Amino acid sequence: MNHLHPRITIAWRLVGVISALLLTVLTGALEARLLAPAGISLVLPGLITACVAAVGFVLALTWPSLRYRHWLWLVERDRVLIHKGVVWRSRSLIPRVRVQHVDTRTSPLQRWLGLSSLIIYTAGTRGADAEIPGLDSDQAESLREQLAHLEDLDEGP
Amino acid sequence: MKDLESGETWQRLHPVTPLLRAVQLLYAFVIAAVVTSLGSRSTLIFVLAIMGLIAAWITLAYLRFRYRLSEESLIILHGVFIRKRRVIPRSRIQNVDLRAGVLQQIFGTTTARIETAGGQTTEAILHVVSRSEGARLRKELVALSRRAPPTAVGEAARVAAVSGPPFEPTETLAEASRQPQMVYRVTPLQLVIAGATSNRAGLLVGALLGGDFLFDFVPTDWLLRRVLPPELFDPETAMNGMLQIAQRDLQAFLLGLGMLVAFFGLAGWAISVLTSVVRYFDFSFTQSGGELKVSYGLLTRREKGFRRSRIQNVQIEESLLRRWLGFASLHSQTAGYGQMKADERMETLTPITRASELAPHLEAAFPGFRWEEVEWRPSHPRARRRLFVRRALVILVATLLLAPVSSWALLLLLAMVPAWFLAAAHYRHLGHARLGEYILVREGLWNRRTHIVPVRKIQALYFRQSPFQRRLDLGTLTLETAGNPIEWHAPRSIDLGTSYGVELMGELAAEVTETGLTF
C-alpha cells in the first residue's frame, strides 16, 4: 500500500503547532483574566499553562509522524482502500463501481507544499472517510482521471 | 401504453386548490386582527390589501399551474410572472407520496409529492389533486416508470443501469402479479400495542411534561399541597423546606415524588399509544408487481408508493418489550427524500406485526428472500469480554468515586454479576448472516435492530477498530448504503474477528463489483 506524500507531515505539524500555540495563549489569557483580579497567585496556573504548552507542542511534533506511518492507501483494479488511524483504526473500502465522482482540492497550505487532496464520492459515503489528503498534485490529478474512468468495469449489465 | 399517449392533455390541479391554500390566509387574518387591535385603521386597510393580493396570487398561481404526463416524463408548467417549465424524467422518480390532512380528507383531495434521488428537497409538489388523480399519478409514475420503449434498448439498459436492476421477467409481464396484493393490514389493537411498547416516545414525553409542568400543573400542585407541608411553598424556604421534609418525613416526600413520576409516566404512555394509533391508523401495505404501497394515518392520511428496486436496506426493530411479547416493526430505507428528517426518510413497512409473521413482509420487499432460512453467525466470542469490560469500567469508576463517601459503595461491585449477564445477553443479539445476495447484520440489546442489505446496494465498506477492540483483535464492519441518515448508525456488524471481518469485507466488495453499476 502507498503512503501519503511525506510533505503532508509538514502541513500537519504546522497546523498542530499553531493549534498548540492558540491553546496555550488561550489558557494563559483565561487564567490571567480570571485569577489575577481575585489576587490569586499565578504560579500554579502558570505551571498548568506550561504543561498545556509542553504536551501540545510535543504532540504537534510527534503525532504527525505516527499518523503518517498509519495512513495508507491503494487504488486497485476494482476498489479503493484506505487504512488510517493511530488509536482508532479504520479501513475503508470503496468498490470502484460505486464511485460517483472524484474531486481534487487544494488549500493554500497544500498549494504551498505542492500537495492536493483527492475526495471520492459515492451515493452513500457521508464525505468523511473517502478523502486522501496528502498527494502530490500531479499524482492527484492522474488518480482522479484514473478513477473517473472505469474502462473494463464500465459496461455492467 | 394507450393511457400514456400524447392524447393526455394538460391538467389543472383540483378546483378547491385556491380555497385550501386560502386557509393560509387565516393566519394572515389572525395577524391582521392583532395588528389592528394595536394600530390604527390605516393598518387594517393595509393588511386587507395584502390579503387581497395574496388571494389574487393564489388564484393566479392555480390558474397558471398545469401538468401532464408524457411518455418519458412529468412536465409541470407554473409561475405567475415568469413561466417555468419543469421536466422530471420518469426514470429519476423514486417515490410519489400522497398526503392528505384533515381538510383535504373532507374534500376528498390529497397532496402529491414527487421525490427523485438527486434532489435535496422534494422535486415537485402537486398541491391539491383529487384522490383518484393522486392514485393515478402514483400508479403511472411509480409502477410504470419502467416502461421504456422497446426500440431504445441501449437507452433502456442505461436507464436500468442507473435506476435499478433489470426487472425480473416475472415482474414485468405476469399481469396476475400486477394485481395489488394486500401484504398486511394492521388492527387497532396492534396499534395500541405498538404505542404501548414503543420505548422512545412515551417516556420522553412523560419526562418532558414532568420537567415542564412539575410545579404549575394543577393536579400536581394539588397533590403537593396534600402531601407536603405548606411552608414548602414559600419560595425562599422552598429549598430548605425540601431538605427538612426529606429529613423529617422521608416517606411522605418519596410518596409524593413517586406519585408524580407515576402520573407523568402514565400520561406519556397514553400519549404514546394515542400517537401511534393516530399516526398509523388503518395502516395497509400492498404490493402490485414491483411497486409497494403503504397508506396510513387518521388526521393526515399518507399514501406512499415506491418501487422495491429502490429499497436500499430494510430494518427490523424490536425493543426489549416487543421482543418479550413477540412483536417487531419494519422500516425500509429508500434513497429519495433528500435532506428530510430521518423519520420521513425511513418508510414504515409495518408499524407492528408478530415477529413470526415477518416473512411475507420481507418477501414483498425483497422477492425470493427466505427469512426462515437465515442462519445467524455470532460475533467473535471475545466480544463478550469487551461488552463486559465496558460495563465493568463504569461500575469501577462509580465505586471509586463513591468509596470515599461511604464504604457501602463497595457493594456496588456486586453489580459486576448482572453486568456479566447483560454482556452475555448483549453478545447473543450481535451477529450477521449471509443469504443469497443479501447480508444481514444486527445489534442492540435494549432495542435490537436487524438490517437486511442487498449486497448490490452497498456503496462503501468500513472496518473500524477502537483501541479496546484492537487489543482483543476485533473490529466493526459497517456497510454504507445510499440514503442512510447521518444521525443514525449505518448497518454494521460489531466485534468480528479482525481477519474474518477484513476477509468478509473483501468478499462483499468483490460481489458489489460483480453487480456492476446497478444499485
Whether A34 shows a pLDDT value over 90: the answer reads: no
Is A156 in Cβ contact with B161 (below 8 Å)? yes
Quote the Cα angle for A53-A54-A59, to 5°: 100
Contact B449, B317 (CB under 8 A): yes
Torsion of CA A32, A38, A40, A41, to 10 degrees: 50
Please give the Cα distance from A15 to A28 (Å, whole number): 20
Supply the pLDDT for residue A73.
92
Whether B343 shows a pLDDT value over 70: the answer reads: no
Among the partner residues B462, B465, B512, nearest to A98 by beta-carbon distance: B512
Chain A neighbors of B313, CB-CB under 8 A: none
Supply the pLDDT for residue B174.
42
* % residues pLDDT > 90 (chain B): 15
Among the partner residues A78, A79, A124, nearest to B459 by beta-carbon distance: A124
Q: Which residue has the higher pLDDT, A112 or B114?
A: A112
Supply the pLDDT for residue B233.
52
For the ranges A120-129, B227-236, B446-455, the maximum mean pLDDT occurs at B446-455
Report how far apart, in Å, the C-alpha atoms of B76 and of each of A15, A93, B86, B90 are: 51, 41, 5, 13
Supply the pLDDT for residue B154.
40
ipTM for the complex shown: 0.86
Chain B neighbors of A66, CB-CB under 8 A: none
- What DSSP element (H or E) covers B480? strand B474-481
Mean per-residue pLDDT over chain B, rounded: 76
Q: Half-sphere exposure (CA, 13 Å, Cβ side) for A38?
A: 9
A149 exposure class (CB count in 10 Å sphere: 0-12, 13-18, 19+): exposed
Is A153 in Cβ contact with B502 (below 8 Å)? no
Supply the pLDDT for residue B163.
42
* Smallest Cα distance from B121 to chain A, Å: 16
Supply the pLDDT for residue B38.
65
Please give the Cα distance from B512 to B454 (Å, whole number): 10
Whether A139 shows a pLDDT value over 50: the answer reads: yes
Contact B515, B455 (CB under 8 A): yes
Among the partner residues A79, A129, A156, nearest to B509 by beta-carbon distance: A79
- The dihedral through the CA atoms of B156, B157, B163, B169 has a sign that is positive
Whether B65 shows a pLDDT value over 70: the answer reads: yes
Supply the pLDDT for residue A96.
87
Among chain B residues, the shortest Cα distance to A123 is held by B482
B159 pLDDT band, cuts 50/70/90, is: very low
Supply the pLDDT for residue B508.
93
What chain B holds in terms of domains, given with CATH numbers, is: 2-166 (2.30.29), 196-279 (no CATH), 374-519 (2.30.29)
Q: Which residue has the higher pLDDT, B187 or A82?
A: A82
Q: Where are the alpha helices (DSSP H) in B125-217?
A: 131-138, 153-163, 169-172, 175-178, 188-197, 201-213
Whether B113 shows a pLDDT value over 90: the answer reads: no
B282-294 tens-digit pLDDT: 888 888 877 888 8
Whether B448 shows a pLDDT value over 80: the answer reads: yes
Please give the Cα distance from A85 to A12 (Å, whole number): 14
Supply the pLDDT for residue B214.
44
Is B463 in Cβ contact with A90 (below 8 Å)? yes
Is A125 in Cβ contact with B480 (below 8 Å)? yes
Please give the Cα distance from B162 to A97 (Å, whole number): 12
B216 pLDDT band, cuts 50/70/90, is: very low
- The stretch B390-397 carries a mean pLDDT of 91
Whether B25 shows a pLDDT value over 90: the answer reads: no
Supply the pLDDT for residue B498.
92
Chain A neighbors of B157, CB-CB under 8 A: 157
Cell triple for residue B38? Answer: 394595536
Whether B478 shows a pLDDT value over 80: the answer reads: yes
For the ranges A26-30, B337-341, B427-431, the maximum mean pLDDT occurs at B427-431
Supply the pLDDT for residue B122.
65
Mean per-residue pLDDT over chain A, rounded: 85
Please give the Cα distance from B16 to B144 (Å, whole number): 28
CA B436 to mean position of chain CA atoms: 27
Q: How many CB pairs under 8 A join A and B?
A: 99
Kindly provide the b/e burial profile for residues B90-129, where b requires at least 16 CB atoms within 10 angstroms of the residue's own CB.
bbbbbbbbbbbbeebbebebbbbbbbbbebeebbbebbbb
List the A72-75 sheet strands across, edge first.
A2-3, A72-75, A79-84, A89-95, B458-465, B474-481, B492-497
Please give the Cα distance from B463 to B158 (Å, whole number): 33
Whether B320 shows a pLDDT value over 80: the answer reads: yes
Among the partner residues B462, B513, B516, nearest to A157 by beta-carbon distance: B516
Q: Half-sphere exposure (CA, 13 Å, Cβ side) for B152?
A: 10
